[in-house]
Amino acid sequence: MKKTAADNFVTAVSEHAESTEIMKRDLEKSAEQIQKDKEAAIANVYEMAGKIKATNFFKSQAEFFNLVMLKKVKDSKEYRERFGITWEQFCEHVGINRRTMDRALEDIAPFRQEFLDTLSNYSGVTFNKIKYLGMAVDEKLVNLSENAITYNGETIPLDVEHKDEIQALLETLEENHKREKEEADTTIRTKDRLLKAKEDTINKMERELKRLEKITPKSELTEEEQDAVNLLLQAQKDFLSTISDIKKKIEPHKAPEIALRQYYYLLIFMQKITSEERLFLQDAYAGAEVVPWEIMEEELPPTDVLIDNLPMTAGKGIGAKVVAKMEERKNKK
């Protein structure tokens, strides 16, 4: 029987629907397979991450064990007595860098060998954690005995039963140290910004003074008066320039302690001298006013301490001698 156009149309529609259904099932299977592959990839990533973390953990723990043994070797000096070699030669022999090792040993320096031997027997204690315990010991926050750790009034025995408490304490000390360091860094950054603002102000004042020098009309001062004004103007410029140079080269938190100390005492000395000169001038200058921030005598450091910490006389130990000489002259009067 010959098919009509209608029959052909129905057949075509039916075949198209069947083809569409097959394509839909294939797409669903493909999407399902893609999801399975994605989940498998994620699981593989987590598995690899876990293996990496475990490897790093055991590596860090092994480093701690090595440090404990190397501390024992260095403290006992057996390498010298038995083999007649230096510590640096011993480090070279075992394949470690002496400087790097010395820096690492500094982190466990606060601990007695017996304490380290006991602590190294507990799984979970790594060098990355133990160094924070050493910092806490140096800061007197933690007290150690041969078989216990005391922190905030709580004593934790060094035994297997308290392994979790020991691990929790190490993590607490690490978190506290990192938080305090971040707070200290924030404070330093704030101070640096303030110092930079002060330096910018000084530089702005210097530029303004130079600008005023160019535009200020000639005064009607006498030659003597102008010389005096010029001298004081130069003194002001030199003072501001010197302070600016000092702040650029002697930076707080970076400069050597001796430089900061001498700068500190120099400022006290300058304040004392300028205060005395101003009081002396007050008797001769009718327009003088009382200043509310007058420096008090009891606020000054002892004279000998001041002398021994000024740049011109620091390190010479002459403070006491100068004071004695001053007393001698005073008594003669």
Contact (Cβ atoms closer than 8 angstroms) between residue 113 and residue 123: no
**174 belongs to a structural domain:** no
Examine the fold and report which residue of 62, 84, 107 is the final residue of a domain before the chain moves on: 107
For residue 242, is it within any domain?
no
Instruction: State the chain's maximal CA–CA distance in angstroms.
Output: 150
- pTM confidence score: 0.34
Residue 27 to residue 86: CA distance in whole angstroms: 73
Residue 32 resides in a domain: yes
Domain count for the chain, please give it.
2
Whose CA is closest to 104, among 78, 77, 65? 65
From 50, 77, 107, the end of a domain falls on: 107
Domain ranges, residue 65:
28-107
d(CA 333, CA 316): 28
- Three-state secondary structure readout of 101-148: HHHHHHHCCCCCHHHHHHHCCCCCCCHHHHHHHHHHHHCCCEEEECCE
Q: Does some domain include residue 318?
A: yes
DSSP state of 155: E
Instruction: With respect to residue 57, please indicate whether it lies within any of the assigned structural domains.
Output: yes
Structural domain contains residue 249: no
Of 48, 78, 107, the last residue of a domain is 107
Is residue 172 assigned to a domain? Answer: no
Residue 102 falls inside a structural domain: yes
Nearest to 146 by CA among 109, 192, 114: 114
- pLDDT tens for the 333 residues of the chain, in order: 555 666 665 566 566 666 676 776 767 777 677 777 676 667 666 666 555 654 554 555 566 677 777 777 888 888 888 888 888 888 888 888 888 888 877 767 666 655 665 666 554 566 567 777 777 777 778 777 767 788 888 888 877 778 788 778 878 888 888 888 888 888 888 888 877 877 877 777 777 666 655 655 555 778 888 888 788 888 888 888 888 888 888 888 888 888 888 888 888 888 888 888 877 887 777 776 665 556 666 666 778 877 777 666 666 678 888 888 888 888 876
